[in-house]
Structure 1
Amino acid sequence: MEHLEIERKFLVKSDEFKQKATSQTRIVQGFLNTDSDRTVRVRISGDKGFLTVKGASNESGTTRFEWETEITAAEATNLIDLCEAGILEKIRFEVPFGNHLYEVDEFLSENKGLILAEVELNHEDERFEKPEWLGEEVTGQIQYYNSQLSKKPFREW
Protein backbone atom coordinates (compact mmCIF):
# COMPACT_ATOMS: atom_id res chain seq x y z
CA MET A 1 0.00 0.00 0.00
CA GLU A 2 1.42 3.40 -0.92
CA HIS A 3 0.51 6.84 0.32
CA LEU A 4 1.90 10.11 1.52
CA GLU A 5 2.69 9.88 5.20
CA ILE A 6 2.00 13.13 7.06
CA GLU A 7 3.03 13.00 10.69
CA ARG A 8 4.39 15.07 13.55
CA LYS A 9 6.82 13.68 16.10
CA PHE A 10 7.26 14.66 19.76
CA LEU A 11 9.31 13.74 22.80
CA VAL A 12 7.25 12.28 25.65
CA LYS A 13 7.78 13.79 29.10
CA SER A 14 6.00 11.24 31.34
CA ASP A 15 4.63 7.72 31.24
CA GLU A 16 1.01 8.85 31.82
CA PHE A 17 0.24 7.70 28.26
CA LYS A 18 0.50 4.05 29.38
CA GLN A 19 -2.70 4.34 31.43
CA LYS A 20 -4.64 5.46 28.32
CA ALA A 21 -3.07 3.02 25.84
CA THR A 22 -5.49 0.70 24.06
CA SER A 23 -2.74 -1.66 22.88
CA GLN A 24 0.96 -2.34 23.14
CA THR A 25 3.09 -4.30 20.69
CA ARG A 26 6.74 -5.32 20.71
CA ILE A 27 8.53 -4.24 17.52
CA VAL A 28 11.89 -5.33 16.16
CA GLN A 29 13.11 -3.55 13.06
CA GLY A 30 16.15 -3.14 10.91
CA PHE A 31 17.11 -1.26 7.78
CA LEU A 32 18.27 -2.74 4.50
CA ASN A 33 19.05 0.83 3.39
CA THR A 34 19.29 4.03 5.47
CA ASP A 35 19.88 6.51 2.64
CA SER A 36 17.74 9.57 3.50
CA ASP A 37 16.30 9.63 -0.03
CA ARG A 38 14.99 6.05 0.25
CA THR A 39 14.98 4.06 3.45
CA VAL A 40 14.04 0.38 3.29
CA ARG A 41 12.80 -1.00 6.60
CA VAL A 42 12.05 -4.54 7.75
CA ARG A 43 9.79 -4.82 10.79
CA ILE A 44 8.38 -7.56 12.96
CA SER A 45 5.39 -6.18 14.83
CA GLY A 46 3.90 -8.76 17.16
CA ASP A 47 3.53 -11.83 14.95
CA LYS A 48 3.45 -9.98 11.61
CA GLY A 49 6.21 -8.89 9.25
CA PHE A 50 6.37 -5.77 7.08
CA LEU A 51 8.62 -4.39 4.37
CA THR A 52 8.48 -0.59 4.04
CA VAL A 53 10.08 1.88 1.65
CA LYS A 54 10.07 5.57 2.58
CA GLY A 55 11.11 8.46 0.38
CA ALA A 56 12.82 11.69 1.37
CA SER A 57 10.97 14.04 3.72
CA ASN A 58 9.76 17.44 2.60
CA GLU A 59 11.47 20.56 3.96
CA SER A 60 9.43 20.67 7.19
CA GLY A 61 9.96 16.95 7.81
CA THR A 62 6.22 16.26 8.05
CA THR A 63 5.51 14.53 4.73
CA ARG A 64 7.06 11.76 2.67
CA PHE A 65 6.14 8.93 0.33
CA GLU A 66 5.60 5.56 2.02
CA TRP A 67 5.01 2.11 0.54
CA GLU A 68 4.42 -0.89 2.79
CA THR A 69 3.50 -4.51 2.31
CA GLU A 70 2.90 -7.30 4.79
CA ILE A 71 5.26 -10.28 4.68
CA THR A 72 5.45 -13.31 6.94
CA ALA A 73 7.25 -13.04 10.28
CA ALA A 74 9.64 -15.76 9.04
CA GLU A 75 10.48 -13.70 5.93
CA ALA A 76 10.99 -10.61 8.08
CA THR A 77 13.28 -12.54 10.44
CA ASN A 78 15.39 -13.71 7.49
CA LEU A 79 15.56 -10.16 6.08
CA ILE A 80 16.56 -8.68 9.45
CA ASP A 81 19.63 -10.93 9.28
CA LEU A 82 20.61 -9.00 6.09
CA CYS A 83 20.05 -5.54 7.61
CA GLU A 84 22.65 -2.92 8.37
CA ALA A 85 24.02 -2.94 11.92
CA GLY A 86 21.80 -1.45 14.61
CA ILE A 87 18.58 -3.41 15.01
CA LEU A 88 15.95 -1.40 16.92
CA GLU A 89 13.68 -2.79 19.60
CA LYS A 90 10.74 -0.91 21.07
CA ILE A 91 7.30 -1.23 22.58
CA ARG A 92 4.62 0.67 20.64
CA PHE A 93 1.61 1.93 22.55
CA GLU A 94 -1.51 3.12 20.72
CA VAL A 95 -3.09 6.00 22.59
CA PRO A 96 -6.30 7.63 21.33
CA PHE A 97 -6.58 11.33 22.21
CA GLY A 98 -9.14 13.74 20.82
CA ASN A 99 -9.82 12.77 17.20
CA HIS A 100 -6.37 11.24 16.65
CA LEU A 101 -4.38 8.15 17.51
CA TYR A 102 -0.90 8.67 18.94
CA GLU A 103 1.69 5.96 18.43
CA VAL A 104 4.10 6.13 21.34
CA ASP A 105 7.38 4.21 21.03
CA GLU A 106 9.30 3.34 24.18
CA PHE A 107 12.73 2.31 22.91
CA LEU A 108 14.73 -0.55 24.40
CA SER A 109 18.37 -1.71 24.31
CA GLU A 110 20.76 0.92 22.88
CA ASN A 111 17.96 3.53 22.73
CA LYS A 112 16.55 2.90 26.22
CA GLY A 113 15.35 6.12 27.82
CA LEU A 114 13.99 7.57 24.59
CA ILE A 115 10.20 7.79 24.23
CA LEU A 116 8.73 9.32 21.07
CA ALA A 117 5.12 9.97 20.07
CA GLU A 118 3.87 10.36 16.51
CA VAL A 119 0.50 11.54 15.30
CA GLU A 120 -0.52 10.92 11.70
CA LEU A 121 -2.48 13.70 10.00
CA ASN A 122 -4.61 14.04 6.88
CA HIS A 123 -2.94 17.32 5.86
CA GLU A 124 0.07 19.30 7.06
CA ASP A 125 -1.81 22.11 8.78
CA GLU A 126 -4.44 19.89 10.42
CA ARG A 127 -5.20 20.85 14.01
CA PHE A 128 -4.90 18.21 16.72
CA GLU A 129 -5.19 18.09 20.48
CA LYS A 130 -1.99 17.62 22.45
CA PRO A 131 -2.13 15.45 25.57
CA GLU A 132 -0.44 16.70 28.75
CA TRP A 133 2.30 14.03 28.50
CA LEU A 134 3.46 15.33 25.11
CA GLY A 135 6.77 17.21 25.21
CA GLU A 136 8.93 19.11 22.73
CA GLU A 137 8.21 18.70 19.01
CA VAL A 138 11.07 17.02 17.11
CA THR A 139 9.43 16.69 13.67
CA GLY A 140 12.09 16.84 10.97
CA GLN A 141 15.01 16.47 13.40
CA ILE A 142 16.95 13.72 11.67
CA GLN A 143 18.59 12.26 14.79
CA TYR A 144 15.11 11.09 15.91
CA TYR A 145 14.43 9.12 12.71
CA ASN A 146 14.48 5.39 13.39
CA SER A 147 16.99 4.91 10.57
CA GLN A 148 19.39 7.28 12.35
CA LEU A 149 18.73 5.80 15.81
CA SER A 150 19.90 2.48 14.37
CA LYS A 151 23.26 4.11 13.46
CA LYS A 152 23.72 6.48 16.40
CA PRO A 153 21.65 5.22 19.34
CA PHE A 154 20.24 7.54 22.00
CA ARG A 155 22.68 6.31 24.66
CA GLU A 156 25.60 7.70 22.58
CA TRP A 157 24.21 11.24 22.43
Structure 2
Amino acid sequence: MQEIERKFLITSTAFKQEATVSQKIVQGYLNSHPERTVRVRIKNEKGYITIKGKGDKTGTTRFEWEKEISLEEAQALIQLCELGVIDKTRYLIPKGNHIFEVDVFEGENKGLILAEIELSKVNDVFEKPDWLGLEVTNDERYYNAYLSKKPFTSW
Protein backbone atom coordinates (compact mmCIF):
# COMPACT_ATOMS: atom_id res chain seq x y z
CA MET A 1 0.00 0.00 0.00
CA GLN A 2 2.90 2.28 -0.79
CA GLU A 3 2.81 4.60 -3.78
CA ILE A 4 6.10 5.71 -5.34
CA GLU A 5 5.58 8.21 -8.13
CA ARG A 6 7.22 11.14 -9.85
CA LYS A 7 5.50 14.05 -11.63
CA PHE A 8 6.64 16.08 -14.60
CA LEU A 9 5.42 18.95 -16.72
CA ILE A 10 5.00 18.25 -20.44
CA THR A 11 6.84 20.14 -23.19
CA SER A 12 4.60 19.17 -26.15
CA THR A 13 1.46 17.22 -27.04
CA ALA A 14 3.51 14.60 -28.93
CA PHE A 15 2.60 12.14 -26.15
CA LYS A 16 -0.89 11.75 -27.66
CA GLN A 17 0.58 9.93 -30.67
CA GLU A 18 2.15 7.36 -28.30
CA ALA A 19 -0.92 6.84 -26.09
CA THR A 20 -2.53 3.41 -26.09
CA VAL A 21 -5.53 4.36 -23.90
CA SER A 22 -7.38 7.52 -22.91
CA GLN A 23 -9.71 7.76 -19.92
CA LYS A 24 -12.12 10.49 -18.84
CA ILE A 25 -11.69 11.19 -15.10
CA VAL A 26 -13.79 13.23 -12.69
CA GLN A 27 -12.62 13.33 -9.10
CA GLY A 28 -13.44 15.13 -5.90
CA TYR A 29 -12.20 15.17 -2.33
CA LEU A 30 -14.20 14.21 0.74
CA ASN A 31 -11.14 15.28 2.75
CA SER A 32 -8.15 17.22 1.42
CA HIS A 33 -6.15 17.68 4.62
CA PRO A 34 -2.37 17.69 3.94
CA GLU A 35 -1.87 14.73 6.31
CA ARG A 36 -4.43 12.58 4.45
CA THR A 37 -6.74 12.86 1.49
CA VAL A 38 -9.89 10.90 0.72
CA ARG A 39 -10.66 11.00 -2.98
CA VAL A 40 -13.66 9.80 -4.98
CA ARG A 41 -13.01 9.17 -8.66
CA ILE A 42 -15.08 8.22 -11.67
CA LYS A 43 -12.86 6.83 -14.42
CA ASN A 44 -14.83 6.08 -17.57
CA GLU A 45 -17.74 4.07 -16.11
CA LYS A 46 -16.14 2.83 -12.87
CA GLY A 47 -15.98 4.35 -9.40
CA TYR A 48 -13.11 4.37 -6.91
CA ILE A 49 -12.42 5.62 -3.42
CA THR A 50 -8.82 6.32 -2.47
CA ILE A 51 -7.08 7.30 0.75
CA LYS A 52 -3.60 8.80 0.52
CA GLY A 53 -1.24 9.68 3.33
CA LYS A 54 1.25 12.53 3.54
CA GLY A 55 4.24 12.22 1.22
CA ASP A 56 7.82 11.82 2.39
CA LYS A 57 10.32 14.71 2.22
CA THR A 58 10.97 14.12 -1.49
CA GLY A 59 7.26 13.86 -2.35
CA THR A 60 7.80 10.53 -4.14
CA THR A 61 6.52 8.04 -1.55
CA ARG A 62 3.29 7.89 0.44
CA PHE A 63 0.62 5.52 1.70
CA GLU A 64 -2.15 4.79 -0.81
CA TRP A 65 -5.22 2.59 -0.47
CA GLU A 66 -7.78 2.32 -3.27
CA LYS A 67 -10.98 0.33 -3.65
CA GLU A 68 -13.34 0.03 -6.60
CA ILE A 69 -16.91 1.05 -5.79
CA SER A 70 -20.02 1.11 -7.96
CA LEU A 71 -20.56 3.96 -10.40
CA GLU A 72 -23.75 4.88 -8.51
CA GLU A 73 -21.87 5.07 -5.19
CA ALA A 74 -19.15 7.22 -6.75
CA GLN A 75 -21.70 9.58 -8.32
CA ALA A 76 -23.47 9.98 -4.96
CA LEU A 77 -20.18 10.57 -3.10
CA ILE A 78 -19.01 13.16 -5.66
CA GLN A 79 -22.05 15.22 -4.60
CA LEU A 80 -20.67 15.29 -1.01
CA CYS A 81 -17.17 16.38 -2.02
CA GLU A 82 -15.50 19.66 -1.20
CA LEU A 83 -15.76 22.39 -3.83
CA GLY A 84 -13.35 22.09 -6.75
CA VAL A 85 -14.03 18.84 -8.58
CA ILE A 86 -11.18 17.93 -10.98
CA ASP A 87 -12.00 17.14 -14.61
CA LYS A 88 -9.30 15.65 -16.85
CA THR A 89 -8.45 13.16 -19.57
CA ARG A 90 -5.69 10.66 -18.81
CA TYR A 91 -3.52 9.17 -21.53
CA LEU A 92 -1.54 5.97 -20.86
CA ILE A 93 1.82 5.78 -22.61
CA PRO A 94 4.03 2.70 -22.25
CA LYS A 95 7.79 3.41 -22.18
CA GLY A 96 10.14 0.52 -21.53
CA ASN A 97 9.00 -1.29 -18.37
CA HIS A 98 6.84 1.61 -17.17
CA ILE A 99 3.65 3.42 -18.07
CA PHE A 100 3.38 7.20 -18.04
CA GLU A 101 0.00 8.63 -17.11
CA VAL A 102 -0.44 12.03 -18.75
CA ASP A 103 -3.31 14.14 -17.44
CA VAL A 104 -4.78 16.92 -19.59
CA PHE A 105 -6.83 19.09 -17.25
CA GLU A 106 -10.07 20.88 -18.13
CA GLY A 107 -12.27 23.44 -16.40
CA GLU A 108 -10.46 25.71 -13.94
CA ASN A 109 -7.23 23.76 -14.48
CA LYS A 110 -7.34 24.01 -18.28
CA GLY A 111 -3.89 24.47 -19.78
CA LEU A 112 -2.16 22.21 -17.26
CA ILE A 113 -0.70 18.94 -18.55
CA LEU A 114 1.12 16.65 -16.10
CA ALA A 115 2.81 13.29 -16.47
CA GLU A 116 3.15 10.79 -13.63
CA ILE A 117 5.11 7.59 -13.48
CA GLU A 118 4.69 4.96 -10.76
CA LEU A 119 7.86 3.20 -9.75
CA SER A 120 8.58 -0.02 -7.87
CA LYS A 121 11.41 1.62 -5.87
CA VAL A 122 12.53 5.22 -5.31
CA ASN A 123 15.72 4.91 -7.36
CA ASP A 124 14.05 2.98 -10.20
CA VAL A 125 15.57 3.90 -13.59
CA PHE A 126 13.12 4.74 -16.38
CA GLU A 127 13.21 5.90 -19.98
CA LYS A 128 12.44 9.62 -20.33
CA PRO A 129 10.47 10.51 -23.46
CA ASP A 130 11.32 13.69 -25.41
CA TRP A 131 8.08 15.39 -24.34
CA LEU A 132 8.90 15.04 -20.61
CA GLY A 133 9.77 18.41 -19.06
CA LEU A 134 10.59 19.82 -15.63
CA GLU A 135 10.12 17.50 -12.65
CA VAL A 136 7.56 18.84 -10.15
CA THR A 137 7.31 15.82 -7.83
CA ASN A 138 7.89 17.79 -4.63
CA ASP A 139 5.87 20.88 -5.65
CA GLU A 140 2.52 20.64 -3.83
CA ARG A 141 0.88 23.03 -6.31
CA TYR A 142 0.73 20.12 -8.75
CA TYR A 143 -1.10 17.76 -6.37
CA ASN A 144 -4.70 17.23 -7.46
CA ALA A 145 -5.97 18.06 -3.95
CA TYR A 146 -4.21 21.45 -4.17
CA LEU A 147 -5.50 22.04 -7.71
CA SER A 148 -9.06 21.42 -6.49
CA LYS A 149 -8.72 24.39 -4.09
CA LYS A 150 -6.36 26.65 -6.05
CA PRO A 151 -6.87 25.94 -9.74
CA PHE A 152 -4.06 26.36 -12.25
CA THR A 153 -5.88 29.20 -14.06
CA SER A 154 -5.74 31.31 -10.85
CA TRP A 155 -1.95 31.14 -10.43
TM-score tier, shorter chain, comes to: over 0.9
Taking structure 1 as the reference length, what is the TM-score of the superposition? 0.98
What are structure 1's unaligned runs of at least 5 residues?
Answer: none
User: How do 1:95-114 residues align onto structure 2 when only pairs under 5 Å count?
Assistant: 95-114=93-112
The equivalent of 1:44 in structure 2 is 42
Tell me the secondary structure at the aligned position of residue 110 of structure 1: helix
2:80 pairs, out of 66, 79, 82, with 82
Paired residues, number: 155
Amino acid at match of 1:7: E
CA distance in 2 between counterparts of 1:37 and 1:53 reads: 11
Question: Which of 116, 131, 137 is the matching residue for 2:135?
Answer: 137
Choose the corresponding residue for 2:151, options 129, 134, 153. 153
Post-superposition Cα deviations, 1:12-38, rounded to whole Å, max 9, x if no partner, equal 110000001000000000000000111
| Structure 1 runs (4+) greater than 6 angstroms displaced | none
Match of 1:10 in 2: 8
1:89-136 per-position Cα deviation (integer Å, ceiling 9, x unaligned): 000000001221000000001000000000000100111110000000
Return the letter of the residue paired with 1:147. A
Letter in 1 for 2:46: K
Q: Who is 2:52 aligned against?
A: 54
| Percentage identity across paired residues of the two chains | 58
Where in structure 2 are there 5+ consecutive unaligned residues?
none
The amino acid across from 2:72 in the alignment is: A
